């Protein structure tokens, strides 16, 4: 009946209920399941993100599955269903919809968290938005309507991927010195310009600063130059840092 089912998960109960329905339907119809987890890209402060996460969680406890994609894949294997997992970063609804088009899904299944009141005003409902704009039929699994115990136990402890050992970087004195010389050099250059212009505008040098150059006192030029050279120094610095491989600067 359905060729390819797209289901979106986030680790919480309603979305896992949706995933269970997807696998069950696929197992009956012989369809393929694409399961996607979207991480939102938001330029928020750490504390702000924390407050958001607490609010998003609402009455719900910790996420039921830390790696929902693995859980759904394991559950699919158990039922003999082909499950393709996708991890994306971007806007939640838009990403789900564009993926649906990309994989030519003919059914989208999403969970509905049942958020109400101010929380709904603030976060909106992804399920609603997906249903509104989807190019294909949408099935919404309401909170608490599907028992997901068997899905959660689908991933045996042994199968859980071992946490990767953190790779500690090695101290490279040469890199350290190169960074020091580069950033320090630009800083000294800019500091000379900055303090030069600044002291020029103090009382002892006011006659020099008042000299007219192209119709304006030198002090005004010194200010403009401080601004423009700042922009140039930073453009140069960012371009170079970005260029320098790992790109962690910048």
Partner 1 sequence: MDNPIALTIVVLSVFLTMYISYYNRRYTRTTAAFYVAEGKIPWRLNGAAMLGDYCSAASFLGVAGAVALVGVDGWWLALGFFGAWIVLLLVMAGPLKSVGKYTVADVLAARFGEKAHGIRIVAMLSTLVLCVLYLVPQIVGAGHLFKLLLGWDYLPTVLVTGTLMAAYVIIGGMRGTTYNQAIQGVVLFGAMILLLIVVSITYFGGNPLAIIEKGQEMVPPAVVAEEGGAVEALAQMEVAEAEAAVTVARELMADAPNALTPGVQLRDLLNQASLVLGLFLGVLGLPHILIRFYTVRNATAARRSAEFTIWGLAIFYAAVLLVGLATMYVLYPTLIQLLTEGQQGVAKNMSLPMLGQLLGGETALGIIAAGALAAMLSTSSGLLISATTSLAHDLYTTVLKPQSTDQERVIFAKTGAGVLAALAIGLAIWLRDQNVAVLVGMCFGIAASTFAPALVFAVWWTRLTSQAVMAGMGVGLVTSVVFTFARFFNMPDFLGIPVLVNPALYSVPVAVLTTVLVAYLTKDTGRVEEFLASAHSS
Subset of 175-194 contacting partner 1 (CB under 8 A): 175-176, 179-180, 183, 186-187, 190-191, 194
How far apart CA 128 and CA 125 sit, in angstroms, is 5
Q: How many CB atoms are located within 10 Å of the residue 214 CB?
A: 5
How far apart CA 244 and CA 110 sit, in angstroms, is 43
- Residue of 59, 156, 170, 214 interacting with partner 1 (CB under 8 A): 170
- Residue of 133, 159, 181, 213 interacting with partner 1 (CB under 8 A): 133
How far apart CA 123 and CA 125 sit, in angstroms, is 7
Binding mask 202-231 for partner 1 (x = CB under 8 A): xxxxx--xx-----xx-xx--xx-xxx-xx
Alpha helices in 58-136 (DSSP H): 68-78, 92-102, 117-123, 126-133
How far apart CA 81 and CA 175 sit, in angstroms, is 50
**Is 131 among the residues that bind partner 1 (CB under 8 A)?**
no
For residues 58-87, which are near partner 1 according to CB under 8 A?
none
Token pair listed for 246? 């790992």
Q: Provide, rounded to whole angstroms, the least separation between the CB of residue 159 and partner 1.
A: 30
CA 126 to chain centre: 17
Q: Return the beta strands (E) in the chain as ranges.
A: 4-8, 32-39, 83-89, 107-112, 138-142, 212-213, 216-217
Q: Provide, rounded to whole angstroms, the least separation between the CB of residue 111 and partner 1.
A: 14
Cβ proximity to partner 1: between 27 and 237 the closer is 237
Q: Provide, rounded to whole angstroms, the least separation between the CB of residue 5 and partner 1.
A: 20
Q: Which span (43-51, 57-65, 67-75, 154-162) binds partner 1, by CB under 8 A? A: 43-51
Cβ proximity to partner 1: between 156 and 171 the closer is 171
**Is 48 among the residues that bind partner 1 (CB under 8 A)?**
yes
For residues 134-153, which are near partner 1 according to CB under 8 A?
none
> Under a CB-based contact definition with an 8 Å cutoff, are residues 244 and 182 in contact?
no
For residues 90-109, which are near partner 1 according to CB under 8 A?
90-95, 97-98
Token pair listed for 77? 């294997």
Q: Which span (12-20, 58-66, 69-77, 88-96) binds partner 1, by CB under 8 A? A: 88-96
């Amino acid at each position: 009946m359905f060729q390819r089912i797209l289901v979106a998960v986030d680790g919480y109960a309603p979305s896992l209920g949706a995933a269970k329905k997807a696998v069950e339907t696929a197992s009956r119809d012989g369809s393929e399941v694409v399961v996607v987890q979207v991480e939102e890209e938001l330029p928020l402060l750490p504390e702000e993100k924390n407050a958001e996460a607490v609010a998003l969680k609402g009455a719900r406890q910790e996420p039921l599955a830390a790696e929902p994609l693995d859980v759904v894949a394991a559950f699919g294997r158990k039922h003999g269903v082909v499950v393709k997992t996708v991890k994306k970063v971007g806007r939640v609804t838009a990403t789900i919809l564009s993926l649906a088009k990309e994989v030519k899904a003919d059914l989208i299944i999403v969970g509905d968290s049942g958020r109400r009141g101010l929380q709904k005003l603030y976060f909106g409902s992804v399920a609603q938005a997906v249903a509104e704009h989807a190019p294909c039929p949408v099935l919404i699994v309401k909170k608490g309507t599907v028992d997901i115990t068997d899905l959660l136990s689908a991933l045996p402890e042994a199968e859980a991927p071992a946490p990767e050992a953190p790779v500690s970087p090695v101290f490279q004195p040469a890199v350290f010195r190169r960074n020091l010389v580069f950033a320090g050099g630009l800083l000294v250059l800019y500091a000379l310009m900055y303090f030069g212009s600044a002291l020029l505008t103090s009382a002892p040098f006011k006659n020099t600063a008042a000299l007219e150059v192209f119709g304006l006192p030198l002090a005004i030029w010194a200010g403009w130059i401080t601004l423009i050279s700042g922009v140039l120094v930073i453009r140069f610095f960012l371009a170079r840092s970005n260029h320098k491989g790992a790109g962690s600067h910048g």
